[in-house]
Amino acid sequence: MRRRPSPLRSLAFSVFVAALLIAAKGIVETREFGRQLELLTYNLLQMRLVRPPAARDLPVVVVDITSLLPTIVESPLRRELVTPREALVAIVKAIANGRPRAIGIDIDFSPSNSGFATPRDAEALQAFLSIRKQGIPVYVGVFESVVLPPAEWLGRPEFEDLAAYITIPRADEAAPSSRMIEWVRSAGVSRSCPSLASALSQVQLRPMPGMLNWALRRVSLKTTDAFAASEFLVNFGALDQLVAGRVMGSNEKDIEKQIQRIDGKIVLVGRATPGEGSDQFNVTGREMPVPGVYLHASATYTLLEAPLFRLTHAGRIVGDAFAAGLVFGPVFLTGLYFQRKGRVGGIPHSLHAILTVTVIVLVASIGHLLVLQVRLLWTDYLMVVGALLLHGPIVRPTEHVLDRFIRPFRSNKKRINTGRARARKKA
């Protein structure tokens, strides 16, 4: 019968194989397969996120103005279909009467090279400034004008503080939207422009405290030579409630009838009927795309109540090593126990398998708990589970191969040592 290796040697083998698996996982993560697997995990975890309270208790509400028909604005330079500004201002004023916490208008007001979208834009922006003076922050969308100096984001310096960026980062290939912007700064521009969610929530995502900064992060910085943007992961846990609980309003009377639903909330105004707007986005867990205003609303909810955390590269390695330690530790200790008891053959295979399965369940449960309680998206835990599953089948053959390779040398060494000992004894 073949002698089983000592627990210490088994531990050394396991650590060696685990290090190889973690390194292999690191390489796989950068490949398409790894990205798809991470996305799958992100989607699974999103579905497990704690369901938020009912729509009436959410801090954010969407006002759907899809039924407000666009009108044609004509000038000698252009002809354009636009949301009528007078009607929009009337709706926003009616919302302001409901004493909301803040109002965000998901319409791009940034001037193009032929000026504002409508001759009435300046008047509308002035009206929004008046609402601000009543103590209700109002923001309107800007898109391409963020490449200009801040004073020109909305055409005139006095409107600068109304500007909020409403771009949604393009998702990776075939992936639903998962990230939103906190702020963006174009090259050569003196200050960053906040996103609609950031401006409305007035929440600034600071880096984690020093103790945790190396392992966890709330934001990631996207930098190119043209711009820099701070991004964060979006919690779509409230999406269904936001869609179902939206306030339909094509005029100020519609709003007045539902005014109690606005009191104390952050209100986002936009074309919000799913399938109707031109700004449709695929999001996790929904078959049909949703209008962009819901992504802004979900991002606002995320910043206010449910920010998500993810591991840094260093944090991932430590997490993976910790998970691997969960397997080796019990195996090593059980092996020691069996050795002390003088049991021949070390840990039985079946017990090893039971231990591995137990640890896999434990890792999955920890991942689950981290999402539910801490909202830490340990998105690569499926890969860790895979690595742990591979661990057993890899360690044993490796041990055998190494054992076969090392045994002749060890036997020779033993023989030589025994010969030397005998010679010494004789002498």
Partner 1 sequence: MKMTQWLCRAAVVYWLAIPTSAPLVTASQGSPAGAILEIHGPAYLRVSEEGPAIRLEPRRDVMRRLYLGQGLRVGAGGRLKVALETGIREIGTPDSWFVLQPSVALTAEQSRVAEALREYGRLGGSRGGAVDFLIAPANGSVIRLGRSIVRWRSASMNGSVAFRLEAGTGRVLWRVDGIDARLEALDSKTFQMALLDWNESGESGTLILTVTGSDGSTGEAAFSLLSREDEKHFESDLSGWERVGDKKLAAIGRAYECRRRGLRGEEIEELETALALAPESEELLSLLSEAHRRYGDSARASALKKKGAALVR
Q: How far is the CB of 287 from partner 1 (least distance, A)?
A: 9
**CB–CB of 99/266 below 8 Å?**
no
Kindly state whether residue 204 participates in binding partner 1, applying the rule CB under 8 A: no
Q: Which of residues 283-312 bind partner 1 (CB under 8 A)?
A: 289, 292-293, 295-296
Site map 325..364 versus partner 1, x via CB under 8 A: ----------------------------------------
Q: Is residue 171 a contact point for partner 1 (CB under 8 A)?
A: yes
Among 224, 260, 350, 373, contact with partner 1 (rule: CB under 8 A): 224
Kindly state whether residue 138 participates in binding partner 1, applying the rule CB under 8 A: no
Find the binder of partner 1 among 49, 107, 303, 360 (CB under 8 A): 107
CA distances from 285 to 42, 178, 233, 288, 364 (A): 10, 11, 15, 9, 20
Name which position in 168, 360, 384, 388 contacts partner 1 (CB under 8 A): 168
Q: Are 207 and 217 in contact (CB under 8 A)?
A: yes
Question: What φ, ψ does residue 411 adopt, rounded to 5°?
Answer: -65, -45
Q: How far is the CB of 27 from partner 1 (least distance, A)?
A: 25
Residue 184 in the binding site for partner 1 (CB under 8 A): yes
Closest by Cα among 269, 185, 191, 172 to 230? 185
Contacts of partner 1 in 12-31 (CB under 8 A):
none
Which of residues 145 and 356 has its CB atom nearest to partner 1 in the complex? 145
Query: What is the closest distance, in whole angstroms, from the C-beta atom of residue 346 to partner 1 in the complex?
Result: 51
Residues touching partner 1: how many (CB under 8 A)?
77
Residues 117-136 touching partner 1, rule: CB under 8 A, are: 117-119, 121-123
Only one residue has tokens 């302001």, namely 96
Number of CB atoms found within 10 A of residue 63's CB: 28
Residues pairing with 79 in the sheet: 74
Tell me, rounded to whole angstroms, the distance of Cα 427 from its chain centroid: 74
Of residues 62 through 81, those in contact with partner 1 by CB under 8 A are 69-72, 74-81
Given candidates 98, 155, 249, 392, which one binds partner 1 under the rule CB under 8 A? 155
**Locate tokens 């898109």: which residue?**
143
Backbone angles phi, psi at 336, to 5 degrees: -60, -45
Instruction: State which residue, 219 or 229, has the beta carbon closest to partner 1.
Output: 229
For residue 362, the tally of other CB atoms under 10 A from its CB is 14
Phi, psi of 80 (to 5 degrees): -145, 145
Q: Does 270 bind partner 1 (CB under 8 A)?
A: yes
Region binding partner 1 by CB under 8 A among candidate stretches 15-23, 107-115, 213-221, 362-370:
107-115
- DSSP letters, 336-397, are HHHHHTT-TTSS-HHHHHHHHHHHHHHHHHHHHHIIIII-EE-TTHHHHHHHHHHHHHHHHH
From candidates 160, 279, 305, 403, binder to partner 1 by CB under 8 A = 279
Token pair recorded at residue 28: 């796989």
What string marks each residue from 226 to 265 as x (binds partner 1 by CB under 8 A) or -?
xx-x------------------------------------
